[in-house]
Amino acid sequence: MYYPEPIAKLIESYSKLPGIGQKTAIRLAFYTIGMDDEDVNLFAKNLLSAKRDLKFCSVCGNLTDQDPCSICTDENRDRSTIFVVEDSKDVLAIEKIREYNGLYHVLQGTISPMNGISPDDINVKSLITRLIDSQVEEVIIATNATSEGEATAIYLSRLIKPSGIKVTRLARGLAVGSDIEYADEVTLLKAVENRKEI
């Protein structure tokens, strides 16, 4: 179907978002066109602000608008544990259960030799740097239950264990192949409570 070029470009932009098919992209484009100018300007401003103002924390690698992030600078957090996750979305998922009060480390991906992603391509070096001369007693590895997540967990475990730091993995409360960000709070809570040393 033919659409005027501005609408076609808007549809194309929406369809690049994950989980947005052609029909949803069309619906979103026409909804956006029907919005008040003020709302569209605010929406555009928020998009640009998120893209320009967010950066990765120099300590933990989490997305933040201040460096170091608010979690790393919070003196009330337990500094003896570090929760290692793949992505910043996973930090939000764990924070929602309100049971964990330690620090985080965001890998910004997983090891995937098939895709040419090695340990040097993700945020591993800064994790090891954090563990040297620190008070960390336990590293909780919370990578997703995928082949890449498992490979990354095993790699990190072999790297960290010789230092004498306890290394645990989330319990199998999460379905294999699922992502942490989509799990409900009860499943995440049980997974954290039943984690095992690897």
DSSP letter assigned to residue 194? T
Could you give the count of Cα atoms lying within 13 Å of 91 in the half-sphere of its Cβ?
21
Q: Which residue bears the tokens 């095993």?
A: 154
CB 31 within 8 A of CB 78: no
Q: Rounded mean pLDDT of the chain?
A: 91
According to DSSP, the residues that pair with 83 across neighbouring strands are 104, 140
Q: What is the per-residue pLDDT across 129-158, written as a single tens digit (0 to 9) for each?
A: 999 878 999 999 999 888 899 899 999 999
Burial class (CB in 10 A: 0-12, 13-18, 19+), 190: middle
Identify the three-state secondary structure at position 196. Answer: strand
Per DSSP, helices labelled H in the chain are 5-15, 22-34, 37-53, 70-73, 88-96, 125-131, 147-160, 185-193
CATH superfamily of 5-53: RecR Domain 1 (1.10.8.420)
Report the distance separating Cα 16 and Cα 103, nearest Å. 33
Q: What is the per-residue pLDDT across 78-106, written as a single tens digit (0 to 9) for each?
A: 999 999 999 999 999 999 999 999 999 99
Identify the three-state secondary structure at position 50. Answer: helix
The CATH 1.10.8.420 domain(s) of the chain lie at 5-53
Q: Which residue bears the tokens 């480390």?
A: 105
For the entire predicted model, the pTM comes to 0.78
The CATH code of domain 63-197 reads 3.40.1360.10
The CATH 3.40.1360.10 domain(s) of the chain lie at 63-197
pLDDT score at 64: 95
